[in-house]
């Protein structure tokens, strides 16, 4: 199948960055926008699913850094719409560390191990900062290398599980997202009521971007062809590292090298539903840790009683190698392993989980991981290059955020930044064309040939007057989109 149409801007991806980018463009008068989304839903890595009688968040569940000096814009959106949030503080998790026989480590031992791990992380950071090479004899380990199960567990929490020093709000982020898109639709509609033409196509997997000085041709897996003056690409760093999207001509070397330098973190929340609660609840018990000789083996646990009282759901977080291993096996095997761990902690009498949900972010070809992870000491140039446009293709997404990569607010702010950069480019182009037409008009009048019309001079930016409507095509219903 082959169809063709031309838009001022095509945004690839309907995650938080794509939507915030569209909002800014629409507010600034770019009326002819098309969003192409590969999956059958909006939200990207904010993704709710029904499980065990409630709606659980498979992706972003936390608004990080709440209570810090600068306000988190996602928190502001949540507050504005009065969304239900649930406060969590996992700083006490280190005092709920279970060994394999179900005993909780004495708080003194846990505190010492924690201090040791923090000191060693700081020391390592200083070494990296000063580029100082530590002289370690062949085969010997650094004195700080975690060895015992408790040290491995704490090392995992420190390095693989985000330790936001501030209080955290746990929130139904999909709801935030829906409000954002509702806001986006209404705002843009009101902003330019006479010339709004927003189109979102779901299930459109972009496979090729052919770009030149004149525009970008976008080809999808189903053979649809779209033309645009500009493209904003919000696909994740994992997708950029994969071969899902082919660029013609290929991206320059500085760009591909930067993309390769950024690590992809895999972070998996596995949900388990039980017939009844058998874990301790109450203050400071929301999070608990399992210390095993294998680093990251079902280490970090959370009960959902605070968020969903009576749901009898536990969540265990796996990362990177363990995430990939679990993604590759059946859910029944994962359930067996998780039950083994829970029996170690709470005894053999506990009930077996009645249901399990294992998200597969790594094997999802529209994600290829959970979020970007720049090396701790990395050249700022890497993120600058990842963000930089190539011709008429602009890049956005959490991985392009210099300060908040890996977070929803990083994606949200990146979408705004990218749109502003694109708007500046469009305005520059308009100014250049205006001056060209100013010079050409007298010549054309003299030769008696056609005079350029206003819409031609802005090169299809506003090709023609479009109907006053908000148009959402594909499988997305109006109510779903704006609720």
Ligand X SMILES: Cc1cc2nc3c(=O)[nH]c(=O)nc-3n(C[C@H](O)[C@H](O)[C@H](O)COP(=O)(O)OP(=O)(O)OC[C@H]3O[C@@H](n4cnc5c(N)ncnc54)[C@H](O)[C@@H]3O)c2cc1C
Q: Which residues bind ligand X (CB under 6 A)?
A: 12-18, 36-39, 44-46, 59-62, 64, 205-206, 234-236, 239, 244-245, 267, 269, 361, 366-367, 370-371, 397-398, 406-408, 410-411
Residue 227: closest CA among 463, 61, 440: 463
Cβ distance to ligand X smaller for residue 60 or 345: 60
**Residue 357 C-beta: closest distance to ligand X, Å:** 12
Residue 182: closest CA among 476, 405, 474: 476
**Residue 256 C-beta: closest distance to ligand X, Å:** 17
Give the start-end residues of each E strand in 67-180.
85-88, 97-98, 168-171
**Residue 175 C-beta: closest distance to ligand X, Å:** 14
Query: What residues form DSSP beta bridges with 287?
Result: 302
CA distance 135 to 145: 15
Cβ distance to ligand X smaller for residue 173 or 345: 173
Assign 462 to helix, strand or coil: coil
Identify whether the C-beta of residue 319 lies closer than 8 Å to the C-beta of residue 267.
Answer: yes
CA distance 465 to 259: 39
Cβ distance to ligand X smaller for residue 66 or 97: 66
Query: What residues form DSSP beta bridges with 226?
Result: 218
**Residue 75 C-beta: closest distance to ligand X, Å:** 10
**Residue 414 C-beta: closest distance to ligand X, Å:** 7
Cβ distance to ligand X smaller for residue 14 or 358: 14
CA distance 15 to 37: 9
**Residue 440 C-beta: closest distance to ligand X, Å:** 39
**Residue 359 C-beta: closest distance to ligand X, Å:** 7
Cβ distance to ligand X smaller for residue 98 or 404: 404
Give the start-end residues of each E strand in 99-253.
168-171, 197-202, 206-212, 215-220, 225-233, 246-248
Cβ distance to ligand X smaller for residue 16 or 291: 16
Query: What residues form DSSP beta bridges with 171?
Result: 85
Cβ distance to ligand X smaller for residue 14 or 313: 14
Cβ distance to ligand X smaller for residue 57 or 151: 57
Residue 317: closest CA among 358, 276, 262: 358
Residue 354: closest CA among 464, 257, 237, 271: 271
Identify whether the C-beta of residue 21 lies closer than 8 Å to the C-beta of residue 230.
Answer: no
CA distance 235 to 257: 17
Please state the separation of Cα 95 from the chain's center in Å: 31
**Residue 412 C-beta: closest distance to ligand X, Å:** 8
Cβ distance to ligand X smaller for residue 461 or 476: 476
**Residue 481 C-beta: closest distance to ligand X, Å:** 14
Residue 356 φ/ψ, nearest 5 degrees: -140, 145
Identify whether the C-beta of residue 408 lies closer than 8 Å to the C-beta of residue 46.
Answer: yes
């Amino acid at each position: 199948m082959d169809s063709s149409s031309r838009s001022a801007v095509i945004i690839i991806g309907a995650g938080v960055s794509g939507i915030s980018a569209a909002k800014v463009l629409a507010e600034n008068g770019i009326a002819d926008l098309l969003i192409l989304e590969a999956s059958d839903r909006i939200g990207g890595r904010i993704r709710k699913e029904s499980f065990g009688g409630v709606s659980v968040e498979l992706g972003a569940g936390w608004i990080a850094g709440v209570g810090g000096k600068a306000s988190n814009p996602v928190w502001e959106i949540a507050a504005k719409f009065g969304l239900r949030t649930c406060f969590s503080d996992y700083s006490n998790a280190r005092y709920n560390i279970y060994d394999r026989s179900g005993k909780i480590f004495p708080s003194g031992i846990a505190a010492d191990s924690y201090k040791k791990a923090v000191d060693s992380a700081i020391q390592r950071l200083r070494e990296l900062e000063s580029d100082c090479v530590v002289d370690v004899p062949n085969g010997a380990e650094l004195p700080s290398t975690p060895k015992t199960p408790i040290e491995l567990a704490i090392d995992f929490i420190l390095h693989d599980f985000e330790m936001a020093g501030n209080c955290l709000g746990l929130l139904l982020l999909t709801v935030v997202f829906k409000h954002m898109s509702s806001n986006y639709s209404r705002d843009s509609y009101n902003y330019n009521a006479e010339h709004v033409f927003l189109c979102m196509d779901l299930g459109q997997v972009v496979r090729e971007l052919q770009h030149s000085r004149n525009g970008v041709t976008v080809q999808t897996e189903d053979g649809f062809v779209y033309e645009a003056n500009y493209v904003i690409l919000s696909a994740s760093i994992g997708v950029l590292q994969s071969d899902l999207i082919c660029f013609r001509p290929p991206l320059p070397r500085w760009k591909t090298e930067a993309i390769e330098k950024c690590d992809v973190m895999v972070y998996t929340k596995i949900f388990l539903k039980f017939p009844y609660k058998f874990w301790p609840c109450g203050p400071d018990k929301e999070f608990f840790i399992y210390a095993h000789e294998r680093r990251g083996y079902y280490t970090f646990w959370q009960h959902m009683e605070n968020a969903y009282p009576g749901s009898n759901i536990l969540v265990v977080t796996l990362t990177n190698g363990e995430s990939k291993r679990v993604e590759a096996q059946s859910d029944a095997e994962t359930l067996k392993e998780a039950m083994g761990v829970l029996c170690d902690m709470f005894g053999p009498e506990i009930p077996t989980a009645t249901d399990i949900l294992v998200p597969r972010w790594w094997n999802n070809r529209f994600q290829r991981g959970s979020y970007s992870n720049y090396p701790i000491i990395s050249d700022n140039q890497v993120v600058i290059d990842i963000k930089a446009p190539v011709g008429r293709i602009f890049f956005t997404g959490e991985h392009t955020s210099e300060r908040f990569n890996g977070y929803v607010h990083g994606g949200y702010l990146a979408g705004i930044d990218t749109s502003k950069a694109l708007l500046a480019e469009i305005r520059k182009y308009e100014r250049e064309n205006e001056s060209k037409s100013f010079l050409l008009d007298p010549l054309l009048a003299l030769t008696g040939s056609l005079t350029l019309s206003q819409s031609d001079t802005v090169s299809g930016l506003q090709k023609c007057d479009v109907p006053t409507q908000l148009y959402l095509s594909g499988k997305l219903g109006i109510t779903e989109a704006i609720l």
